[in-house]
Structure 1
Amino acid sequence: MKKESSRIEYKKLYSDDLDIEKEVVAFLNYREGGFIYIGIDDSGKVVGVSNTDKIILKIKDRIKNNIQPSALGLFDVVEETRENKPVIKIIVASGTEKPYFKKKYGMTEKGCFIRVGTASEPMPQKIIDELFAKRIRNSIGKIKSPRQDLTFEQLRIYYEEKGKPLNKQFKKNLELLTEDGYLNYVAYLLADENGTSIKVAKYAGKDRVNLIENTELGYCSLIKATKNVLDKINIENRVYARITPKERIEKRLWQPVALREAIINAIVHNDYTREVPPKFEIFDDRIEITSAGSLPDFLSVEEFFEGVSVPRNKELMRIFKDLELVEQLGSGLPRILQFYGRDSFKFTDNFTRSIFYADKEVLEYLKNEESAAQVTEHDTDQVTEQVTPQDTPHDTPQVTSQVTDRVTDRVIDQVTDQVKNLLLAIDREYTRQELMTILSMKHNQTFRENYLYPALKNDLIEMTIPDKPNDPKQKYRLTEKGKQLQKQLKKQTKL
């Protein structure tokens, strides 16, 4: 067990008399944030905590109500197991609105604290005044929305889906208002309609010369736009499957977990005060994700890679966490670094960019697959040209059928059993929920990733409303290619 340090504080027991606010304030004001563990004594010995759920709720409530400026989006309280005993871990990010203080005492030496070595010490009044003078005032929580006639039906739906319906005070509770009661820029970004354009561009080749697709996914709630970007790039993240004597091995162009974290990080931490949205670009050999704004002035590159968390938009961070798009605070970058190196990140004075190169084995497979498809198309054209009605009128359908069956058999070998089951289930237009019911599926993500998206990527099914992928009236039907494959599958089933 690590010893206490400038970033780690241990508390043996929790009680209502424990000054947890003091410790949280000290880490909010510290340039690197930190961690508070309850259930571990000063020597690092794990003693454990009982009734963790109740204590976690109490701690969250105390931090929310007793600290100013608001720390929402800057902390997490989670349960962990150490030496087979439950402990509570409080994760605190460095805040951008320093100085933070205990509400009861205000911006005084009794209310403001800072980490000094392994202790939380009162902050000298001179430093309090200096920090207040430098406090970032131009944040999206303080900027008035350019529109005040905003609606939030999409946001309501997403919260209801998570069993967290919004009440009449949601604008205040989610910090969507300025200090003088106007809707702020956070509200603007989360509204049903706004002027924020988020696009996914796709190029033929390795540069930006030949743009072949520019998908518009913005002008709606940032939550909906995020989900649309995730869905779109998931479709582009094509799969290569290899069957060994022991198992079926699947690989994608890019590692899905890392890619998802990078997409969400770019959206949540984008500097929207510049009115420049994040950008997603797909090339033949890589994907580039660019967000506006470089690292905060007080955060070094080394600290960034060490996982020091300084949320640029704490209001967005809190809402994304509410809706389970973000997990534990500060966990995104470590997930990415499990699969991609530090050289995948580029920092300039105005932008942060992630560059993920595609898996070479998958690229080679897809390249060979496309070449095979071109050869097959060429073979079919030759047969059609060589066998004309004038030459052999009775043999033409048979020869064409043999070629079609051979091509279809090749496609059958390349698709998964899940996709085959999906194709066999479709005999008309269906909604996603109807298809899940037919296939006895209950988990949305499993259905999307293993059934729906692979079928869409291979042009076996298509959307009835392709311009609006997330339209509530969206349905799915077989393409001509899918119908041919279904026909062959049924023939094989009978055999």
Structure 2
Amino acid sequence: MVKEIKTKEFLFKIIRKGETETVEFKERFCDEVIETLTAMANSFGGRVYLGISDKGKITGVKVGKESVQKWLNEIKHKTNFKIIPDVEETKINAKTIITFSIPEYPNKPIPFRGRYYKRIKNSNHLMTIEEIADIYLKARNRSWDMYVDTEASLNDLDFEKVNKLIGKINENRDIKIAEDPLAFLRKYDLILGEKITNAAILLFSKKPLFYSEIQIGLFQTDTIIKKSLTIKTDLLSEVDLVMDFIMSHITKEYIITGKPRRDERWQYPLSAVREFVVNAIIHRDYRSGVHSQFRVYKDKLVIWNIGKLPSSISIEDLYSGSEKSTPRNLKIAEIFKEVGLIEKYGSGVKRAIDEIVSYALPKPEIKEISGGINVDIFGEKSSEKTVEKTVEKTVEKTVEKILVLIQKNPLITQDELSKKTNLSRRGIEWNLKALKEKGQIERVGPD
């Protein structure tokens, strides 16, 4: 059904603005009109105006008695009856303009001749297989981590890790979780019946996981690596282990203020660094099999993580905090929020940037590189330090610290080691295991 539309002034305003993400001009009806309508339906909706050139000149379009119905039928057939746009007609100086309007469709993606398009700025782009999968899952409020790993079983899960997680969640709750580990996993849909979700494997796997691998290193230059570590464990442990490595290889300053106790100042605000670490882990595209990279330099930290931003979010949105958070892994994000590693969806990056800037450091640089997101966090240059400080470098190797403490007190516990080294309990466990495997220590007695 053709409807008479809006005022001429409205149309002139659209023409002056030109083609955009939601506006396209065509002089006549053709397959590109249908392609654009599907791209808009897969993106944010929009309008295609027939009878206007791409330069904004009103050319008009010839409309016969059955033209509009014929066009609508063609659109329906070539999209498998998925979309039916609204049609509006306007006359300007005896020239007819036909407008096809399409909303953003809830059940995306919509194909055109077996291909899927999305709208970027003022043009259509063919979607990749990964983008098709992402838009399909997002449209159904699902994500990859919520689906079942058909090769996994309950025997693949470490229930002690589940118990530890429940304990951490209870630390932040007035009403405690009373369920046993299996009931907890079912309550949070981490297992479905007897089937194990991808999220459950990533959070509680007994075995090392190649697709959760993190490579972290201490770099003298881009090509000279002084120390490196490969981490292949559960995601919650990865947060602690990455932070332990970073804290062991950045500087900590003691500021003499005249108080009985000296103030500590790390090279970077640790809570902001942790936010970027957590963000990388929960937004990573684990389907790719590509490892995350963390680089520690003398004067900067570099984080690279596989997985592009959603098309609805730009780098500028991250800086401004105006993005609406859409976690790539909804179930993992939910668990991280329960344990207190995420405060509020969508607020973390902006908050971390503000904290770094208020720490008198340069604004971090965020950009898309090689199919992922790269973050450079810059340190303070030594020439810019104006406060009298006593500097203690914390780059002494973690292993050496632990060995010295054990030599002084062979009965020292893991909790005591954790307090004396500022490492997490997981970090201590990891390093003790490495020392045992190298035959440098033999653990006797309680932990």
Matched, 1:267 2:281: yes
- 1:358 CA drift (Å): 2.2
State how far apart, in whole Å, the 2-side matches of 1:182 and 1:366 are: 56
Cα distance change of structure 1 residues 221 and 129 upon mapping to structure 2, 3 Å threshold: closer
Superposition deviation, residue 295 in structure 1: 0.6
Return the match for 1:151 from 157, 165, 168: 157
Q: What secondary structure is seen at the aligned counterpart in 2 of 1:267?
A: helix
Stretches of structure 2 that go unaligned for 5 or more consecutive residues are: 1-42, 45-100, 111-131, 138-142, 171-176, 424-430
For 1:366 and 1:287, the matched residues in 2 are separated by: 22
Aligned AA for 1:157? K
- Write the mapping of 1:31-430 to structure 2, written as runs, cut at 5 A: 127-128=104-105, 130-131=107-108, 133=110, 135-137=135-137, 139-142=144-147, 144-148=149-153, 149-153=155-159, 154-163=161-170, 164=177, 166-167=179-180, 168-177=182-191, 182-190=195-203, 191-193=205-207, 194-207=209-222, 209-218=223-232, 220-245=233-258, 248-307=262-321, 308=323, 309-338=325-354, 339-340=356-357, 343-348=364-369, 350-361=371-382, 427-430=409-412
Q: Which residue type is aligned with residue 199 of structure 1?
A: I
The aligned runs of 1:441-460 (5 Å cut-off) are 448=419, 451-453=420-422
Shift of 1:234: 2.2
Residue 242 of structure 1 and its aligned partner are, at CA, apart by 2.5
Aligned residue identity for 1:430: I
Question: Which residue identity is paired with 1:356?
Answer: I
Structure 1 equivalent of residue 36 of structure 2: none
Give the CA deviation at 1:125: 11
Summarize the Cα distance change of 1:474–1:230 in structure 2 as closer, same or farther, 3 Å threshold.
farther
Q: Distance in 1 between matches of 2:150 and 2:435?
A: 29
CA contact (8 A) 2:302 2:376 kept: yes
Q: Measured at CA, do residues 173 and 127 of structure 1 come closer, stay the same or move farther in structure 2, by a change above 3 Å? A: same
Separation in 1, partners of 2:444, 2:198:
31
Q: Distance in 2 between matches of 1:130 and 1:243?
A: 61
Deviates more, 1:125-134 or 1:231-240: 125-134
Q: Distance in 2 between matches of 1:348 and 1:125?
A: 33
Q: 2:146 is paired with a residue of what secondary structure?
A: coil
How far residue 262 of structure 1 moved from its aligned partner, in angstroms, is 0.7
Long gaps (5+) in structure 1: 1-29, 32-123, 374-418, 437-446, 455-462, 477-495
Contact 1:203–1:211 (Cα < 8 Å) also in 2 = yes
Write the distance in 1 (CA, Å) between the matches of 2:188 and 2:257. Answer: 51
CA-CA distance at 1:129 after TM superposition: 5.2
Determine what percentage of the aligned residue pairs are the same residue: 19
What root-mean-square deviation, in Å, do the aligned CA atoms of Structure 1 and Structure 2 show?
4.4
Alpha-carbon distance between aligned partners in 1 of 2:108 and 2:390, rounded to the nearest angstrom = 56
Contact 1:240 1:250 in 2 (8 A): yes
* Aligned-residue offset at 1:145: 4.9
Alignment CA distance shift 1:474-1:196 (3 Å): farther
Deviation at 1:269, TM superposition (A): 0.8
Q: Aligned partners of 1:183 and 1:231: how far apart in 2?
A: 30
* More divergent stretch after superposition (324-333 vs 355-364): 355-364
CA distance in 2 between counterparts of 1:342 and 1:293 reads: 22
Is residue 199–residue 279 contact of structure 1 (8 Å, CA) maintained in 2? yes
Partners of 1:236 and 1:362 in 2: how far apart?
A: 20
Q: How far does residue 317 in structure 1 lie from its aligned partner after superposition?
A: 0.6
The 3 A distance-change label for structure 1 pair 240 and 200 is farther
Cα distance in 2 between the residues matched to 1:147 and 1:284: 42
Please give the alpha-carbon distance, in whole angstroms, between the structure 1 residues aligned to 2:228 and 2:374. 19
Q: Closer, same or farther in 2 for the Cα pair 1:231/1:369, shift >3 Å?
A: closer
Q: Match for 1:288: what amino acid? A: V
* Distance apart, 1:127 and its partner CA: 4.9
Check the 8 A contact 1:242/1:250 in 2, yes or no: yes
Distance 2:373 2:186 in 1: 31
Return closer, same or farther for 1:189/1:206 CA change in 2, 3 Å cut-off: same
Letter in 2 for 1:140: D
Q: Is the 2:217–2:225 Cα contact (8 Å) retained in structure 1?
A: yes
Q: 3-state DSSP class of the match of 1:347?
A: strand
